[in-house]
Structure formats: structure tokens, C-alpha cells
Amino acid sequence: MQGFGKVGYNLAKNLAQEGTILMVSDVNQAAAQRAKDEFGATILLPEEFYRADCDILAPCALGGVLNDETIPRLKCKVVCGGANNQLLADRHAEAAEKRGMEYGPDYIVNASGVINLAQDVAPGGYSEKAAAALVMKIYDNMRQVLEIASSQRITTALAANHMAEQRIERAKAAKR
């Protein structure tokens, strides 16, 4: 996990409850130490993050982490984290895929933040139950992206973009 702020902390908390072995990197040493103290995480120096031998790499801080320099060093099966704009360029989704990595498009993975913000301004005010119901759909959306990518032989990033474009067009048509 890269970044141990609010998003990283909550991800680590949920993963630790499931018994996941955590490795955390953060430029803020106090944050990294907190991950170690609270969840037994191994602390990685920032330069070690991209060489970590892991199943899932979770960028939770910086954008552009998937790029020409980092992708060849990655040893993970999946890249799935809460940071925005993890691909430096669209072509990096294909580069990651060619290395055998599955990429979870960031705007699907981190949709819970927008969902919660939208609930704050929903008629009747914030509803934890309504927010939770919408957050649970993230799993279904990601599954649909993986199915589209597989059936159309395209990257998950492109599949997510197609899915988003279709939803926008349906919303426009419904308004007409």
C-alpha cells in the first residue's frame, strides 16, 4: 500500500480484519509507523514500493504511479487502490496488462468517496444505509468492467471508459 492517509488507513483497517499481510510505504514516517503499530504492517521505503513482491499493489496517495519506469519493476498480480489518475498515460493500462497485471480503474475503485459526498446533499440529508447500498454496487461495476475487458479483449481502463460513456448517453437520452 502506498500512502497511509485517510483512504490508506481505512483500507488497511479492513484488510487487517481479514488477516491480510500488509506492507506500507509513506513519505511520512509517522504515518508508516502508525501502520506498523496498529496493523503489524511491514514498512517499505518509498523507493522499495515498486519492487514489493505482493499480490495486490494499492496506490492510495499519488497519481501517475503506473508509468514507463515503474511498470517493469512491479511484481504484483493486481493494481487496485484509491489514488486518482494512477495511469500516467492511457497506454500504461496495456503495458500493465502485458506484464500479467489486472488494473482496477481508479474512478471505479474509489467511487465510495463521491458516493458519500453525494449523500451529504441528497434530499433528506445523509443516509448511511443509502450510501452503503450504493457503495456495494462498486463490486458489481468492477465485475462488469472485468467481463467487458475479457469478452472484448480490451484493457480494464478502456472497458471502464466505455461503460461510463454508455451510462452518460443513457442519462442524456432519459433527459430528452
Looking at residue 91, which CATH number applies to its domain? 3.40.50.720
Instruction: Give percent of the chain with pLDDT exceeding 90.
Output: 82
Assigned C-alpha cell, 52:
514489493
Q: Rounded to two decimals, what is the model's pTM?
A: 0.88
- What's the total number of domains in the chain? 1
Q: What is the pLDDT of residue 76?
A: 96
Q: What share of the chain is helix, strand, coil (3-state, %, to 5)?
A: 55, 10, 35
The answer, yes or no, to whether residue 45 has pLDDT greater than 90, is yes
Q: Can you spell out the DSSP letters for 69-123?
A: TTGGG---SEE--S-S--BSSTHHHHHHHHTT-EE--HHHHTHHHHHHHHHHTST
Domain of 26 in residue numbering reads as 1-103
For residue 119, is pLDDT > 90? no
Q: Is residue 139 part of a domain?
A: no
